[in-house]
Amino acid sequence: MWRQVEAGIGAARAGAAGAVAPAAPSRPRFAQLPSVADAITPLDDAIGLLQMAAEVEHALLVQYLYANASVVRSTGGMSVSGTIRTIAVEEMGHLIAVQNLLLAIGGPGAHHFGRDVGNPDFVPIPFVLEPLDRASAAKYVVVERPKHIADAAVLARVEALEDDVRAATGLDPNRVGALYAAIYWLLQPSDDPFGPEPFTVEDGFRRGWHVRETDFQRADEITTFATTIDEWRNFPGLIATVATDALTACETVHAIMAQGEGVSASDDSHFEEFLAVLDAIEAGRVTVAPLPCSPFVQGQPRPADPRAVQLTHPYTTAWGELLNLVYTHVVGCIANGLARPFGDQTRAELIDIALTAMRPVLTLLTRQIVKLPIADSPGAPAAGPTFGLLREDWPVDPAAFEVVHRHLLATEDSAIAAIQARPEHAGDAQGRVAVDAVKKLQDRIRLLLH
């Protein structure tokens, strides 16, 4: 169940003290709404919750990508892999949409691309990388569920899944929709129902706790840095709307909620799609590779998952290090790109590099690592993609970004050299293709550096 988000994401930028909790009437529609500890103003609260939303979207999309990496095949007319991959891409769209909302009320300096900064007790589910199975799919259904489910049979099924998740994790899962409901309330101009979601104080929200009209940046300043869907290859279903005032901000939040983590379900919502995935699993129509839980290599932050498995085979470890670096570089390219004005050619190239790095480069690296052993011992099981984020904070100044890019490039070079020095690499045609793809990506980044 959502509790207060610790200061340090949004409220810390205000240097505030004195926790603020929302008033809760009896039987509120959104019990225990999240709020930012130490937020002195609604603006502090909104920025903090939006930055938490960015972490939630970032974490979910990576967990979905890992689950998808474990899918070998599915039958029965549904592509489970294609469904999960599309959901992950749409979560990327949510992450981008949240950056536009942060820009609208905080300026470019409020962008947030971290994943593990916030207190892990306040995320929807603990961040773990695990293969797709009934238990993991149940988690995804529960966190993506709408508050109200009209179908009694579906509601009973989801409530049973919630009990399963509590028993498996020892935690109460948090609905992502409750987080966005709290954000929506903050962004609407008054306590009166506003925009597509008719929220009122009777739903459990704090009376009079709203971002002011004057808290929004000037429209021309917002559009100077806001991202639009054409920068993301116009991927179908991607949300990248520009928010310039309370109405467009609330409409953006509503679009995110409706697509996956909302107050009402639709046939193509993430909730409904994960229910279909769960149906396929329970019907025995999904074949999954037994990837390890939360694999990691030395040098990346150790996962909190008690089941985490360290990769120790030297060849596999080198690939894990390279995957972490490329993944981190993807995030850095997006952060650097969005810190630059719209129409800037370097911005456009950085975003395109990030898109290419996501697919096919990270796809190639994932396919490479899942065929390699965890350890240098006979019969060792296969590894999994590590997805270690090596940097949580990113500069805004282009010169500072250049220093970061050069460091990542140099470290990638070292990882590639370690891969190529291993005897396994000479006969590894798939590995050579993956290395070549990374080098081409590096060449594009180097052309942007002075």
CA distance 209 to 202: 14
Q: What's the residue count for the chain?
A: 450
336-372 b/e (C-beta count within 10 Å ≥ 16 → b):
bbbbbeeeeeebebbbbbbbbbbeebbbbbbebbbeb
What pLDDT is recorded for position 263? 53
CA atoms within 13 A on the CB side of 56: 31
Task: Return the amino acid letter for 303.
Answer: P
Q: Are 178 and 30 in contact (CB under 8 A)?
A: yes
N- to C-terminal Cα distance for the chain? 49
Phi then psi for residue 73, to 5 deg, are: -165, 160
Q: Are 188 and 246 in contact (CB under 8 A)?
A: yes
What is the residue-level pLDDT of the chain in tens, covering all 450 positions?
Answer: 444 444 444 433 333 323 333 333 333 444 457 888 889 999 999 999 999 999 999 999 999 999 999 999 999 999 999 999 999 999 999 999 999 999 999 999 999 999 987 666 668 888 999 999 999 999 999 999 998 898 999 999 999 999 999 998 888 888 999 999 999 999 999 999 999 999 999 999 999 999 999 999 999 999 999 999 999 999 988 999 999 999 999 999 999 999 986 555 456 899 999 999 999 999 999 999 999 999 999 999 999 999 999 999 999 999 999 999 999 999 999 999 999 999 999 999 999 999 999 999 999 999 999 999 999 999 999 999 999 999 999 999 999 999 999 999 999 999 999 999 999 999 999 999 999 999 999 999 999 997
- With respect to CATH, is domain 314-448 assigned 1.20.1260? yes
CATH 1.20.1260 domain extents, the chain: 314-448
Residue corresponding to tokens 């025995």: 284
CA distance 88 to 82: 10
- Number of Cβ atoms within 10 Å of the Cβ of 154: 15
Distances (CA, A) of 222 to 55, 108, 398: 22, 9, 19
Distances (CA, A) of 107 to 28, 225, 350: 33, 9, 20
What pLDDT is recorded for position 224? 98
Residue corresponding to tokens 């930055």: 51
Q: Can you give the chain as a three-state secondary structure string?
A: CCCEECCCCCHHHHCCCCCCCCCCCCCCCCCCCCEECCCCCHHHHHHHHHHHHHHHHHHHHHHHHHHHHCEEEECCCCCHHHHHHHHHHHHHHHHHHHHHHHHHHHCHHHCCCCCCCCCHHHCCCCCCCCCCCHHHHHHHHHHHCCCCCCCHHHHHHHHHHHHHHHHHHCCCCCCHHHHHHHHHHHHCCCCCCECCECCCHHHCCCCCCCCCHHHCCCHHHHHHHCCCHHHHCCCCCCCCCCCCCHHHHHHHHHHHHHHHHCCCCCCCCHHHHHHHHHHHHHCCCEEECCCCCCCECCCCCCCCCCCCCECCCHHHHHHHHHHHHHHHHHHHHHHHHHCCCCCCHHHHHHHHHHHHHHHHHHHHHHHHHCCCECCCCCCCCECCCCCCCCCCCCCCCHHHHHHHHHHHHHHHHHHHHHHHHCHHHHHCHHHHHHHHHHHHHHHHHHHHCC
What pLDDT is recorded for position 197? 93
What pLDDT is recorded for position 119? 60
- Number of Cβ atoms within 10 Å of the Cβ of 157: 15
Of 339, 59, 384, nearest in space to 225 by CA = 339
Q: Residue 27 corresponds to which tokens in the numbers above?
A: 């039987």
CA distance 197 to 205: 13
Phi then psi for residue 382, to 5 deg, are: -75, 155
Of 346, 324, 325, nearest in space to 401 by CA = 346
Of 106, 181, 114, nearest in space to 147 by CA = 181
Residue corresponding to tokens 């603006």: 43
Strands 35-36 and 4-5: parallel
